[in-house]
Structure 1
Amino acid sequence: MVQILDSTLREGEQTPGVYFSPDQKMVIAQFLDQIGVDIIEVGNPAVDSEIALAIKRISQAGLNAKIGAHSLCKIDNVRKALDCGVDFLGIFFSVSKKRLQQDYNIHLDVAIEKIIEVVTFAKEQQHDLLIRYTPEDTVRSPIENVVAAASAAVKAGVNIISIADTTGYSTPFHPQRSMYFYVKTLKEELGNRGLYPQIEVHCHNDKGLALVNALDAYRAGADIIDVTTMGLGERAGIVDLAELLINLIDMGEAEKNWQLNYIDDLYNFVSQHSHISIPPHTPITGKNAFTHYAGVHVKAVAKNQQLYQSLDPHILGKKSSLALGMQSGYTAVELALKQIGRGELAENKDLVNKILQKIKVIAKRGTPIDIEKELPEIIVRFSVANHPHSLGNEICTFSV
Structure 2
Amino acid sequence: MIQILDSTLREGEQTPGVYFSPEIKLAIAQFLDHIGIDIIEAGNPAVDREIAVAITRIANAGLKAKIGAHSRCRIDDVNKALDCGINFLGIFFSVSQKRLQQDYNLCLEAAIARIAEVITYARKQQSDLLIRYTPEDTVRSPIEDIIAAASVAVQAGANIISIADTTGYTTPFHETRSISYYVKTLKTELAKLNLHPKIEVHCHNDRGLALANALDAYKAGADIIDVTVMGIGERAGIVDLAELLINLTDMFAEKPAWDLTYLKKLYDLVSEHSHIPIPPHHPIVGKNAFTHYAGVHVKAVAKNEELYQSLNPEIIGIKSSFALGMQSGYTAIQLALKQIGRSEIAENQAVVSKILHEIKEIARRGNPIDIEKELPAIIERFCLNQIINSEICSIYSVFHVHEVHG
Runs (5+) with no aligned partner, structure 1: 392-400
Give, in whole Å, the separation in 2 of the partners of 1:85 and 1:312: 40
Give, in whole Å, the separation in 2 of the partners of 1:262 and 1:390: 53
Runs (5+) with no aligned partner, structure 2: 392-406
Give, in whole Å, the separation in 2 of the partners of 1:61 and 1:12: 21
Question: Can you list the C-alpha shifts for 1:7-57, whole angstroms capped at 9, x where unaligned?
Answer: 000000000000000001000000000010000000000000000000111
Give, in whole Å, the separation in 2 of the partners of 1:58 and 1:29: 7
Tell me by how many angstroms 1:253 deviates: 6.0
Describe the SS at the equivalent of 2:111. Answer: helix
Structure 1 counterpart of 2:347: 347
Conservation of the 8 A alpha-carbon contact between 1:383 and 1:390: no
Give, in whole Å, the separation in 2 of the partners of 1:12 and 1:289: 23
Residue 365 (1) aligns with residue 378 (2): no
Structure 2 counterpart of 1:396: none
Structure 1 counterpart of 2:52: 52
Tell me by how many angstroms 1:162 deviates: 0.2
Query: Aligned pair in 2 of structure 1 residues 376, 347: CA closer, same or farther (>3 Å)?
Result: same
Tell me by how many angstroms 1:386 deviates: 2.0
Tell me by how many angstroms 1:104 deviates: 1.0
Give, in whole Å, the separation in 2 of the partners of 1:225 and 1:344: 53
Q: Trace 1:1-400 onto structure 2 (pairs within 5 A).
A: 1-252=1-252, 254-388=254-388
Tell me by how many angstroms 1:256 deviates: 4.1
Question: Can you list the C-alpha shifts for 1:219-259, whole angstroms capped at 9, x where unaligned?
Answer: 00110000000101000000000000000011116444111
Question: Can you list the C-alpha shifts for 1:123-163, whole angstroms capped at 9, x where unaligned?
Answer: 00001000000000000000000000000000000000000
Tell me by how many angstroms 1:365 deviates: 2.3
Give, in whole Å, the separation in 2 of the partners of 1:352 and 1:115: 72
Tell me by how many angstroms 1:360 deviates: 0.5
Query: Aligned pair in 2 of structure 1 residues 29, 366: CA closer, same or farther (>3 Å)?
Result: same
Tell me by how many angstroms 1:387 deviates: 3.0
Q: TM-score, normalised by structure 1?
A: 0.96
Write the letter of the residue equivalent to 2:88.
F
Give, in whole Å, the separation in 2 of the partners of 1:343 and 1:158: 65
Tell me by how many angstroms 1:295 deviates: 0.5
Write the letter of the residue equivalent to 2:40.
I
Conservation of the 8 A alpha-carbon contact between 1:384 and 1:390: no
Conservation of the 8 A alpha-carbon contact between 1:15 and 1:233: yes
Query: Aligned pair in 2 of structure 1 residues 13, 125: CA closer, same or farther (>3 Å)?
Result: same
Give, in whole Å, the separation in 2 of the partners of 1:344 and 1:253: 47
**Shift >6 Å, 4+ stretches:** none
Tell me by how many angstroms 1:101 deviates: 1.2
Give, in whole Å, the separation in 2 of the partners of 1:291 and 1:234: 31
Query: Aligned pair in 2 of structure 1 residues 254, 22: CA closer, same or farther (>3 Å)?
Result: farther
Structure 2 counterpart of 1:397: none
Give, in whole Å, the separation in 2 of the partners of 1:53 and 1:342: 54
Describe the SS at the equivalent of 1:70. Answer: strand
Tell me by how many angstroms 1:292 deviates: 0.1
Deviates more, 1:335-344 or 1:13-22: 335-344
Tell me by how many angstroms 1:367 deviates: 3.5
Conservation of the 8 A alpha-carbon contact between 2:249 and 2:256: no
Tell me by how many angstroms 1:385 deviates: 2.1
Query: Aligned pair in 2 of structure 1 residues 142, 124: CA closer, same or farther (>3 Å)?
Result: same
Write the letter of the residue equivalent to 2:117.
E
Query: Aligned pair in 2 of structure 1 residues 253, 245: CA closer, same or farther (>3 Å)?
Result: farther
Question: Can you list the C-alpha shifts for 1:94-116, whole angstroms capped at 9, x where unaligned?
Answer: 01111111111111111000000
Describe the SS at the equivalent of 1:287. Answer: coil
Conservation of the 8 A alpha-carbon contact between 1:298 and 1:331: yes
Give, in whole Å, the separation in 1 of the partners of 2:253 and 2:2: 8
**CA RMSD, aligned part only?**
1.3
Describe the SS at the equivalent of 1:235. Answer: coil
Give, in whole Å, the separation in 2 of the partners of 1:255 and 1:49: 41
Conservation of the 8 A alpha-carbon contact between 1:4 and 1:226: yes
Tell me by how many angstroms 1:173 deviates: 3.1
Q: TM-score, normalised by structure 2?
A: 0.95
Conservation of the 8 A alpha-carbon contact between 1:199 and 1:223: yes
Query: Aligned pair in 2 of structure 1 residues 264, 386: CA closer, same or farther (>3 Å)?
Result: same
Write the letter of the residue equivalent to 2:324.
L
Structure 1 counterpart of 2:403: none
Question: Can you list the C-alpha shifts for 1:143-202, whole angstroms capped at 9, x where unaligned?
Answer: 000000000000000000000000000000311111111111110010111000000000
Describe the SS at the equivalent of 1:40. Answer: strand
Tell me by how many angstroms 1:61 deviates: 0.4
Structure 2 counterpart of 1:398: none
Tell me by how many angstroms 1:368 deviates: 2.0
**Number of residue pairs aligned between Structure 1 and Structure 2:** 391
Describe the SS at the equivalent of 2:199. Answer: strand
Question: Can you list the C-alpha shifts for 1:312-352, whole angstroms capped at 9, x where unaligned?
Answer: 00000010000000000011001100110111211111111
